[in-house]
């Protein structure tokens, strides 16, 4: 989930060839695993099937997962520089958002740290998940082949400063974090906010590493862009 830049000086051509049927099947398998985790956290599949917000969450994940798979811009890349990150960081980026919903669901079942707001808060969380994932997909789609799950820069890489990137430098990271926060709120337990906070720390540190790399690659253009934008929230006074 990188909106990234340079590093080791290695040139690697990356290609992805995956048909729509395979993409949809993989999306369904991932959603099925999400359902298994939620059922375990809620106590049974019966509890899952009788939990409207959980079912809508699964539907949102299935639809956005399929869209992301079908539209995913990483089809082929002429990558000239890749920065290697600690494996633990990459694992955390995948595992934390995966475990946040079941942790929050477990907190709901056990009555741990209930949040105020009741059903309204829960449905607001579901809506936030949809909004966050939509933002993430839009950001990735805007970057097109420049998007990479690694910190990397492609041949003839251009700095994106339009659309979503006119206001914030990391809309994809923001979308991922909002989706995790929404998943925690959907179950109304403060227990789910713990992994959300950890996810925010991981994303924030990765964004700082990425920005240092982008400054190295884009130099003054990056400094000017950073001066008029926010990392995750717009600098309203700078938008014209």
Return averaged pLDDT per consecutive 10 residues of the chain, 240 residues in all: 39 54 87 98 98 98 90 64 88 97 98 97 98 96 84 81 96 98 98 98 96 90 96 74
pLDDT at position 18, please? 65
pLDDT at position 145, please? 77
The CATH architecture of the domain made up of 12-238 is Up-down Bundle (1.20)
pLDDT at position 235, please? 87
C-alpha to C-alpha distance for 237 and 135, rounded to whole angstroms: 22
C-alpha to C-alpha distance for 167 and 233, rounded to whole angstroms: 8
Q: Domain ranges in the chain?
A: 12-238
Distant-in-sequence, close-in-space partners of 31: CB < 8 Å, separation ≥ 6: 58, 61, 62, 65
C-alpha to C-alpha distance for 151 and 205, rounded to whole angstroms: 13
pLDDT at position 17, please? 53
């Amino acid at each position: 989930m990188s909106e990234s830049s340079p590093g080791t000086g290695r040139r690697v051509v990356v290609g992805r060839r995956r048909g729509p049927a395979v993409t949809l099947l993989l999306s369904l398998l991932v959603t099925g695993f999400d359902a298994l985790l939620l059922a375990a956290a809620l106590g049974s599949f019966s509890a899952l099937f009788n939990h409207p917000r959980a079912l809508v969450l699964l539907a949102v994940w299935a639809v956005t997962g399929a869209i992301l798979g079908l539209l995913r811009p990483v089809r082929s890349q002429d990558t000239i520089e890749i920065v290697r990150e600690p494996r633990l960081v990459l694992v955390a980026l995948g595992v934390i958002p995966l475990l946040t919903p079941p942790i929050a669901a477990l907190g709901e079942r056990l009555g741990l740290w209930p949040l105020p707001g009741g059903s309204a808060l829960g449905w607001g969380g579901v809506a936030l998940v949809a909004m966050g994932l939509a933002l993430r997909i839009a950001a990735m789609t805007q970057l097109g082949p420049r998007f990479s799950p690694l910190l990397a820069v492609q041949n003839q890489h251009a700095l994106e400063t339009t659309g979503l990137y006119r206001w914030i430098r990391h809309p994809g990271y923001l979308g991922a974090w909002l989706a995790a926060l929404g998943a925690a709120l959907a179950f109304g337990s403060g227990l789910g906010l713990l992994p959300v906070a950890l996810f925010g720390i991981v994303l924030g540190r990765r964004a700082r590493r990425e920005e240092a790399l982008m400054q190295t690659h884009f130099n003054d253009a990056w400094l000017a862009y950073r001066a008029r934008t926010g990392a995750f929230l717009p600098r309203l006074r700078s938008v014209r």
